[in-house]
Amino acid sequence: MAPFFNPNSSPDLPPAPPDLILVQTVHSLGEVSPLFRLPRFKLHRGQVVVYYTPHDPNTIAVKRVVGLPGDKVTPLPGYDGWDSSPVIIPYNHIWVEGDANNRDKSIDSNHFGPISQNLVCGFVLAVYVPGLNWPVWLDSAGDDTPAKKDGRVEEDVVGSARLDPDEQATQGEDPFRSGSAALELAMIRRNRELMPAKLRAKGMLERYRRMHALARAEVATGDASTRSVAQGLVEELEIAFESVGLNKDGGRVAPVVKPRWQAGEEGESTADKERKLQEYLARQRTV
């Protein structure tokens, strides 16, 4: 937890004592890295966040999250550079606004547009109001924002905006319809004798396990144009897995636990136990 003072920054408003707010930080101030793609917590509409302002990274601001990736937000009218047309929030960005719902009282996304989630450094849990001896815990219900009440926010209009573009590119390629699965099958058949060595290489076993699972799913749900390639991959990979002592799906073979009577010197056979029983009974009859 960390406190931030939030003084009145507008010269047009009467001076007011600063509020002390309780903030849950998500990383230390000044440690923003271009490799840090997403904040370490899940953002949601109505949440009050602390962020580095995009026009001055040395300044920290506090605003409420109004829109998430994929939402469509209509900006407030009267801002320079905006025509008040709806804006689709892109991947890894959010739309933030002040609760005043007045462009003269808040510098927010209505001025500079959606901000990167990488700029978020914390979220506000409570406000300590001067004169009160206890904190006022914030209500983060998304439906209570002025933008939501005014009908300026349409949620989840573009679902793909919530996905990483790199992941979309990977997910969008169908190996059985793009030809890559057929090429993979041809390479496996051409180099069958090398498969045991490949399966022992780092990371390759998991790769072929995933390939086998995809091929089995394609056999079950695919059409005639892809089923033969998928079936060929299933057969080739199962042969390769079994050649190195794995199950057909590439999983490890469970060890076989022998009964004690089959365990050699550590156990006794049924015949030995029967012989000892008969010897014991014979001794009892002679007593």
Dump pLDDT digits (tens) for 88-106.
999 889 999 988 766 667 8
Residue 171 has pLDDT above 80, yes or no: no
In a domain, 224, yes or no: yes
For residue 209, give every residue at least 6 positions away whose Cβ sits within 8 Å of its Cβ, in sequence order, or none: 249, 250, 251
The pLDDT assigned to 101 comes to 65
Same-domain status, 140 and 63: yes
Q: Which of 75-79, 160-164, 166-170, 280-284 has the lowest mean pLDDT?
A: 166-170
Residue matched to tokens 């109004």: 66
Of these ranges, 35-44, 226-235, 269-278, the one predicted with the greatest mean pLDDT is 226-235
41 and 92 fall within a common domain: yes
Has residue 168 got a pLDDT over 60? no
Q: Does 61 map to a domain?
A: yes
Average pLDDT over residues 53-80: 85
Q: Do 98 and 195 fall into the same domain? A: no
pLDDT at 11 exceeding the cut of 50: no
Q: What is the pLDDT of residue 178?
A: 74
- Which tokens go with 247? 């199950």
Instruction: Name 49's bridge partners.
Output: 63, 123
In 3D space, the residue among 8, 17, 16 whose CA is nearest the CA of residue 105 turns out to be 8
> Which burial class, exposed, middle or buried, applies to 38 when counting CB atoms under 10 A from its CB (0-12, 13-18, 19+)?
middle
pLDDT in tens, 27-62: 543 444 443 444 446 788 888 999 988 888 788 899
Question: Given this model, what pLDDT does residue 239 score?
Answer: 93
Query: Where residue 35 sits, what CATH number does that domain have?
Result: 2.10.109.10
Instruction: Please report whether residue 78 resides in a domain.
Output: yes
Q: How confident is the model at residue 177 (pLDDT cuts 50, 70, 90)?
A: confident
Number of domains in the chain: 2
State which residues form the domain around 229: 173-244
If asked whether residues 127 and 43 sit together in one domain, one would say: yes
The reply to whether 206 falls in a domain is: yes
Q: Is residue 117 part of a domain?
A: yes
**Domain membership flag for residue 201:** yes
Give me the long-range contacts of 109-113 (CB less than 8 A, separation at least 24): 109/63, 109/66, 109/67, 109/73, 109/75, 110/75, 110/76, 110/79, 110/82, 111/79, 112/53, 112/54, 112/55, 113/87
pLDDT on residue 287: 54
